Amino acid sequence: MSVALIILAAGKGTRMKSDLPKVLHPIAGAPMLHHALQTSAALDPARTIVVAGHGAEQVQAAALAYDPSIEVVIQKEQLGTGHAVDQARGALDGFDGDVVVLFGDTPFLQPETLSRMVEARQTHDIVVLGFDIAEVQPRYGRLVMDGDRLVKIVEYKDATEEERTIRFTNSGLIACNAKVMFDMLSEVTNDNASGEYYLTAVPELANAKGLSVTAIKCDEAETLGVDSRTDLAGADAIFQARARATLLDGGVTLMAPETVYLSFDTVIGRDALIEPNVVFGPGVTVESGATIRAFSHLEGCHVSRRAIVGPYARLRPGAELAEGVRIGNFVEVKNATLATGAKVNHLSYIGDASVGEASNIGAGTITCNYDGVMKHRTEIGARAFIGSNTMLVAPVSVGDEAMTGSGSVITSDVDDGALAIARAPQVEKPGMARKLFEILKAKKARQSRGS
């Protein structure tokens, strides 16, 4: 059966206390909305409709960045989750498949759970996804069951004391035929504690029409809703725990797993070793057998086999390290390619550059890539030796097997095999240091007598 996915993302997220629309708050480097879209891909939806309202432009941009075929409908006023779904009525006019409604603030659904919902839909007209809360909380709609029949959903605010003790709660996910959904929504009123048109009113109305309504259960960790910064931090922690477990299962060594921060798209090959306190921002690939040493920060970069990075290294977007490259402490690499076996071991900045095979970059080397207006490139050949504290003023190139003297400020290209020295020549004054010491000591003695 073809499925139209409706993702609700119009709410303000008042409890987040933020200028950013709630569904754009990131978990592991990607907006919550992207997580929701990613997991719902398991439904293979024919249509995906995002309902936007607060910060609609930003939400729309984020949705289209994820997938340009997503349709965005606007809910001008946030009159409730039922009203939000109703905004897709026009877009789905004539659609005779199922709608599956998903909240943009419940990012962790598992594909198996969605498959179970689809399966339950074969025998029931309406399927709701619920979960058992470990502790009774003053939030979440309660699912009132009679055997496997879902009698109704009561929002916490509207529930009786007795209903509030029910632990089976609403995740927000609901699946049914599109026509059934819009027929039911026409009957939803806002006669409740919040004065909102609740999507959660649909099951009770459907029961009255003699439709069969059920709820299936999933794990709390899958469907917890993000309404506050505390929820957001909790959601990120859940993501991290899962992602670390996946890496460990895949043959990656994490010396102190709980100190490694991963992004939604971090890829690390087997037999890689990750030391404690490493942050992986978005877009990082680390190949098999590479080592990322403690306190390193990586984003948008690629680390090949047997490369060693850190401790205390920073790899920024566009850092591309070939096999066996070494990046040492306090080295920053940005938009730069380092060929096989190249070494930058200490205190350097390599930006907008290419470094050839087996070249060695001395401590304190800087590619001066920015003239205040434009960025320029530095090209270093193979087996070159860049002396410590060399300033490479880009655009500039250093040839294969060339050398630069320590402390040089290199402003013009250096040929293959040449040695370039660009620093003030050394001047030596015999005996001068001793004389200077005597003068200074005598001065100090005069001062202390005078005081």
* Binding interface with Mg ion (CB under 5 A): 105, 225, 227
Half-sphere exposure (Cβ direction) of 90: Cα atoms closer than 13 Å = 9
* Contacting residue, 86, 98, 105, 222, with ligand UD1 by CB under 6 A: 105
Asked if 48 interacts with ligand UD1 (CB under 6 A), we say no
135-154 positions binding ligand UD1, by CB under 6 A: 140-141, 153
Span interacting with ligand UD1, options 78-86, 88-96, 247-255, 394-402, rule CB under 6 A: 78-86
Nearer to Mg ion, 167 or 346 (CB): 167
155 binds ligand UD1 per the rule CB under 6 A: yes
280 binds ligand UD1 (CB under 6 A): no
What residue type is assigned to position 251 of the chain?
G
User: Residue 200 interacts with ligand UD1 (CB under 6 A)?
Assistant: yes
**Partner that binds at residue 310, options ligand UD1, Mg ion, none, CB closer than 5 to 8 Å by kind:** none
Q: What is the DSSP string of 299-345?
A: -S-EE-TT-EE-SSEEE-TTEEE-TT-EEEETEEEEEEEE-TT-EEE
- Binding residues with ligand UD1: total (CB under 6 A): 32
Say what angle helices 32-40 and 111-121 make with each other, to 10 degrees. Answer: 50
Q: Which amino acid is at 39?
A: T
SS3 244: helix
* Cα four-point dihedral sign 211, 191, 95, 59: negative
CB of 24 to ligand UD1, least distance (A): 11
Instruction: List 273's β-bridge partners, or say none.
Output: 253, 291
Task: Tell me which of 75, 113, 365, 408 binds ligand UD1, using CB under 6 A.
Answer: 75
Element (H, E) at 245: helix 229-249
Can you give the length of the chain in residues?
451
362 binds, among ligand UD1, Mg ion, none (CB under 5 to 8 A by kind): none
Interactions with ligand UD1, residue window 420-449 (CB under 6 A): none
- Contact status: 8 vs ligand UD1 (CB under 6 A): yes
Asked if residue 425 has a cis previous peptide bond (ω within 30° of 0), the answer is no
The residue sitting closest to Mg ion, measured at its beta carbon, is: 225
Catalytic, 346? Answer yes
**Is residue 106 close enough to count as binding ligand UD1 by CB under 6 A?**
yes
- The three-point CA angle 350-356-360 to 5° equals 65
Footprint (CB under 6 A) of ligand UD1, residues 373-412:
none
Whole-angstrom Cα Rg for the chain:
31
Question: DSSP state, 425?
Answer: P
Structure token pair of residue 92: 């789905």
Q: Is the dihedral of CA 273, 279, 280, 285 positive or negative?
A: negative
Contact partner at residue 172 from Mg ion, ligand UD1, none, CB < 5 to 8 Å by partner kind: ligand UD1
Residue closer to ligand UD1 by CB (options 181, 298) is: 181
Using the rule CB under 6 A, give the single segment among 163-171, 251-259, 278-286, 352-360 that binds ligand UD1: 163-171
Query: 23 vs 319, which CB is nearer to ligand UD1?
Result: 23
User: What, of ligand UD1, Mg ion, none, does residue 26 touch, CB below 5 to 8 Å by kind?
Assistant: none
Measured from the CB atom, the residue of 105 and 357 that comes closer to Mg ion is 105
Q: Which of 104, 269, 341, 399 binds ligand UD1 (CB under 6 A)?
A: 104
Question: Of 139, 345, 321, 301, which is closest to residue 230 (Cα–Cα)?
Answer: 139
Contact between 252 and 274 under an 8 Å Cβ cutoff? The reply is yes
- Judged by CB under 6 A, the residue of 29, 55, 80, 341 near ligand UD1 is 80
Q: Is 79 in the site for ligand UD1 (CB under 6 A)?
A: yes
Distance from C-alpha of 3 to C-alpha of 160, rounded to nearest angstrom: 36
Nearest to 262 by CA among 246, 235, 281, 247: 281
Choose the contact partner of 9 out of Mg ion, ligand UD1, none; CB within 5 to 8 A by kind: ligand UD1
Residue 204, binding choice from ligand UD1, Mg ion, none, Cβ under 5 to 8 Å by partner class: none
172 binds ligand UD1 (CB under 6 A): yes
Q: Do the strands 319-321 and 331-338 form a parallel or antiparallel pair, or are they unpaired?
A: parallel
> Tokens 């073809």 correspond to what residue?
2
Kindly state the smallest distance separating residue 45's Cβ from ligand UD1, in Å.
17
Whose CA is closest to 56, among 17, 13, 10, 88? Answer: 10
Q: Which is nearer to Mg ion, 105 or 352 (CB)?
A: 105
Measured distance CA(160)–CA(343) in Å, rounded: 68
Q: What is the binding site for ligand UD1 (CB under 6 A)? A: 8-11, 22-23, 51, 53, 75, 78-81, 83-84, 103-106, 140-141, 153, 155, 169-172, 198-200, 225, 227
Catalytic residue set: 346
